[in-house]
Amino acid sequence: MCKFPPMGTRSMIGVLPLFGMQPLPLDEMIASSNESGSTVFAMIESRKAVEAAEDITAEDITAVEGVDVLLVGSVDLMVDCGIGGQFDSPSFRSSTEKVAGACRKHGKVFGVAGVA
């Protein structure tokens, strides 16, 4: 939904963006937008998502083309794991390390949200 066809299903917009302060032909604008004009975040907020992030099957979240960032939703993940608010928990640390490792492996950006 965030990328233009053929990479995604985003509809065309009336006013096209400029890249390098220059207008581009539509096909070049689409390629530039898909490559560097949008960022897709996938939130990791459950044990199941952590497992999918490190899985090496076709369902691997980090292998999905077009996903740029995996962002751990720390509070939701801890609640799902039954350790709400325990940022120093070995389980939470292990989960974030697994996601970070999967991001490294697939060239994705890793982040953690919800840390006050």
Q: What is the pLDDT of residue 57?
A: 58
Q: What is the pLDDT of residue 59?
A: 57
Spell out the domain ranges in the chain. Answer: 1-38, 41-113
Q: What is the pLDDT of residue 56?
A: 61
Q: What is the pLDDT of residue 95?
A: 93
Q: What is the pLDDT of residue 25?
A: 87
Q: What is the pLDDT of residue 91?
A: 93
Ranges of the chain whose pLDDT falls below 50: none
Q: What is the pLDDT of residue 52?
A: 81
Q: What is the pLDDT of residue 99?
A: 92
Q: What is the pLDDT of residue 28?
A: 87
HEC string for the chain: CCCCCCCCCCCCCCCCCCECCECCCHHHHHHHHHHHCCCCEEEECCHHHHHHHHCCCCCCHHHCCCCCEEEEEHHHHHHHCCCCCCCCCHHHHHHHHHHHHHHHHHCCEEEEECCC
Q: What is the pLDDT of residue 54?
A: 73
Q: What is the pLDDT of residue 83?
A: 94
